[in-house]
Amino acid sequence: MNICAYNRPRELCYAVQKMSGEVFNQKLTPRPWNRTDPDSTSWWLVPSTEWPAFKYGKYYFTWDSGDILCGLYIEKGIGQEAREFYPPAWMLDQFWIWHKMIQDLRVGKVQYAIAEASKKCFAPVEIIVDGGPARPKDFDGHAAFDSRPDAYTFRTIKNTENLELINVSGQRYTELKELGLANNFNDLINTLEKLTHMPFIWVDVFIALRLKIEVNDVKKQGIQSEWGAKEIWNNFLYCYWSWIKEAVK
């Protein structure tokens, strides 16, 4: 695990925005989950000024058990069969990056990016898949659920296609329970493809690096040195630029 030079998702989000702008001369747009509590909420970097931005691949920065997670965030929206119940921006169509992610998983491009990132970071990558039935009401432009979504967290295993299921929360929705049986990328892809055809089910996929912010505890463990935006960008986030760059305006 690596040490993060920033104490909050917001700080890391803005530092990465500056870094990506310097590298590509392209400005990503920071967006908070909760505008009324910007210092404590999760943040996205969106490759567009459009909002909501469900259809785009985004960088995501959030908390988890006292750590910061950052990485690629891709969403699967509501199927066209349910369009009369939901806002138009929630409708999954051919322009959503979700479809490219599924195609690239099938041919190994996503797995290659994950393996490269893991190698550069000297750490496993976490893949968090959450979702459930979305309700036709949103919070500040975000998809919402009847309760907290079910979430399945996987960790990559070095030099293999296998995945380790390290955490499950919820297990309320039968549509997602097959995720709990996934032992490798092929299993995961098959389940994500099935979920693609479930019109009322919203799904988020978050490919993440875990960063420690309790520096003293990490140093006691003799783990990696402190990483700023440059190291996090070069070693992890840039590996997923392919799923961001198509929407950059």
Structure tokens of 78?
């509501």
pTM score, whole prediction? 0.92
Average pLDDT, the chain: 90
**Domain boundaries in the chain?**
2-247
- Give the three-class secondary structure for 47: coil
Beta-strand relationship, 67-76 and 201-212? antiparallel
List 126's β-bridge partners, or say none: 155, 208
Q: What is the DSSP letter of 186?
A: H
Whole-number CA gyration radius for the chain: 17
| Residue 139: predicted pLDDT | 44
Beta-strand relationship, 142-145 and 126-139? antiparallel
Q: Cα separation of 129 and 134, whole Å?
A: 15
> pLDDT tens-digit profile of 7-39?
999 999 999 999 888 877 778 999 999 999 999
